[in-house]
Amino acid sequence: MINIPKGTKDVLPWQSYKWQYIEGTARDVARLYGMREIRTPVFEHTELFSRGVGENTDVVGKEMYTFEDKGGRSMTLKPEGTAGAARLFIENGLSSTPMPVKTYYITPAFRYERPQSGRLREFHQFGIEMFGASAAEADAEIISAASLFLERLGIKDVRLEINSIGCKSCRAEYNRALKEYFKPRLGEMCPTCRVRYETNPLRMLDCKEEECKKISAGAPEITDYLCPECRGHFERLKSLLDGQGVKYTVNPRIVRGLDYYSRTVFEFVSDAIGAQGTVCGGGRYDGLVSQLGGAETPAIGFAAGIERLMLLMDNTQTPYPEEEKPLIYLAGMDGPTREAAFGIVSALRREGVSAECDLMERSIKAQLKYADKSGAAFSAVIGGDELLSGEVNLKNMSDGAVRTVKINELGAYLKKEKKSW
Ligand code: ATP
Ligand code: MG
């Protein structure tokens, strides 16, 4: 017996409706915001991620699934969706289409992490990426799309935290202040943080080690170092969010995992799913497209982890709509009538009615037992009499009520019934 790889999960037949519901909700929200779907390959040249996500991030430094293909190229399974979306934008000349370019994706992502609750090696993201808009309105639109997505799923146990990490110029001064703060305590910090101290001190605030977290709790806050433009952008974003009634708190500790973020960063966090509480994270990445060889292009987006959303919905008893069951099960008394039932069921399906019949050569009793288990809304038995009269006794499985319906009117009748639910 060969088992599933560590940190991955199967979706079983009775679980997939939950996936379809979340993905369907994502697509609905994306449509409301005029975001169009993009699909990028599961693997890309490794360099896309080392340049696009950043060499000194956990994702690139420790978590990538990198392999050499038979042609000797270094390839990597996508650890996130933003770098691929930016590559698609550049490579296909989307910058010459009307701006902003609004895109979304639903994709698997791969990270070699220690599997635990809310942390998998293959997981799935719903992401939105918007290119070309630098105004705070764009930031507010992206955040409100994420917020509507969570709202439509019925998720309540979540809070929005926002921050601004400024631009290159305000960050330079802030990084100096951070280095000054961390310098005397560097010896107590983890080896990764000592590297970050040299390469990108801002990322020390994102460290998950307890000792490092304790030390960084007293660090200077970026919001005190923003230049007038970045401060103005952040203030405008806040007032736009206020205007839409989107509730948030400012958390100056959020810096986000990726390197090319600038200005707005945000997370939707829950306390109901343990240590991995971030269900959705995003931000502005004005530097990414040019970093990858495109023209300077402002951009902003988010990604929500679908498995974490499911965990949150399960832990907070957030209901899913019921799984759709067959509308009718048509049983047959014997060989010939089972064959007749088979024909009627095929015709019903052609009419758009989900219908089931026996495929197991079961007795009539066993067929009806199966009909019950299948959750079919209606059932009927085809015997010799029914074939002669052209009518069946249609049983409503939820209340037991029976009514006589012509076989050739079954489809229309069932469709009308379903509409009235
Ligand atoms: P974390 O701090 O939890 O490691 P991150 O900053 O690495 O998150 P992002 O790169 O922003 O995460 O990814 C966006 C979202 O994808 C996260 O908010 C989370 O919901 C989900 N996610 C990230 N890594 C994993 C994983 N290993 N397993 C499941 N979901 C994940
Ligand atoms: Mg991570």
Tokens of 303: 């990604």
In the chain, where the domains are located:
16-167+227-315, 328-414
- H/E stretch holding 402: strand 402-406
Query: In this predicted structure, what is the pLDDT of residue 257?
Result: 65
Q: Which of 278, 279, 300, 302, when mutated, tests ligand 1's pocket best, judged by the most ligand atoms within 8 Å of its CB? A: 278
Give the ligand with the smallest distance to the CA of 120: 1
Strands of the sheet containing 66-68, edge to edge, are 43-45, 74-77, 66-68
Please report which confidence band the pLDDT of residue 249 belongs to, taking 50, 70 and 90 as the band edges.
Answer: very high
- Quote the ligand 2 centre to 364 CA distance (angstroms): 55
- Quote the ligand 2 centre to 313 CA distance (angstroms): 21
- Quote the ligand 1 centre to 306 CA distance (angstroms): 10
- What backbone phi and psi angles, to 5 degrees, belong to 195? -70, -45
Tokens of 119: 């942390």
Alpha-carbon span 258 to 255, nearest angstrom: 9
Give the ligand with the smallest distance to the CA of 269: 1
- What backbone phi and psi angles, to 5 degrees, belong to 154? 85, 15
Query: In this predicted structure, what is the pLDDT of residue 360?
Result: 97
Give the ligand with the smallest distance to the CA of 111: 1
- Quote the ligand 1 centre to 305 CA distance (angstroms): 6
Give the ligand with the smallest distance to the CA of 125: 1
Pick the atom of ligand 1 nearest to 208's CA. Answer: 2
Express as a percent the part of the chain with pLDDT over 90.
90
Q: What is the pLDDT of residues 22-50, one digit of tens each?
A: 999 999 999 999 999 999 999 999 999 99
Q: Which residues line ligand 1 (CB under 6 A)?
A: 80, 111, 113, 118-120, 123, 125, 257, 276, 278-281, 303, 305, 307-308
Pick the atom of ligand 1 nearest to 308's CA. Answer: 20
Q: Amino acid identity, residue 372?
A: D
Q: What is the pLDDT of residues 224-239, one digit of tens each?
A: 999 999 999 999 999 9
pLDDT mean over 117-143: 98
From the candidate CATH numbers 3.40.50.800, 3.30.70.120, 3.30.465.10, 1.10.3720.10, the one assigned to the domain spanning 328-414:
3.40.50.800
Choice among 90-99, 202-211, 251-260, 404-413 with the minimum mean pLDDT: 251-260
Q: What CATH class is the domain 16-167+227-315? A: alpha beta
Q: Which of 276, 280, 285, 313, when mutated, tests ligand 1's pocket best, judged by the most ligand atoms within 8 Å of its CB? A: 276
Atom 23 in ligand 1: residue holding the nearest Cα? 305
Q: Under 8 Å CB-to-CB from 200, ≥6 apart: which residues?
A: 54, 56, 175, 259
Query: In this predicted structure, what is the pLDDT of residue 284?
Result: 97
Atom 7 in ligand 1: residue holding the nearest Cα? 257
Pick the atom of ligand 1 nearest to 278's CA. Answer: 18
Pick the atom of ligand 1 nearest to 306's CA. Answer: 20
pTM above 0.85, yes or no: yes
Query: In this predicted structure, what is the pLDDT of residue 54?
Result: 86
For the chain, give the mean pLDDT. Answer: 95
Express as a percent the part of the chain with pLDDT over 70.
99
Pick the atom of ligand 1 nearest to 257's CA. Answer: 6
Most confident range (mean pLDDT) of 161-175, 191-205, 210-224, 301-315 is 301-315
Query: 154's torsion region: left (phi>0), alpha (psi -120 to 50) or beta?
Result: left
- What backbone phi and psi angles, to 5 degrees, belong to 382? -100, 115
CA 108 to chain centre: 9
Q: Is the pLDDT of residue 300 over 80?
A: yes
Tokens of 250: 């400012």
- Quote the ligand 2 centre to 119 CA distance (angstroms): 8
Q: Is the pLDDT of residue 199 over 90?
A: no
Pick the atom of ligand 1 nearest to 119's CA. Answer: 28
Q: What is the pLDDT of residues 264-298, one digit of tens each?
A: 999 999 999 998 899 999 999 999 999 999 999 99
Atom 14 in ligand 1: residue holding the nearest Cα? 303
Atom 5 in ligand 1: residue holding the nearest Cα? 257
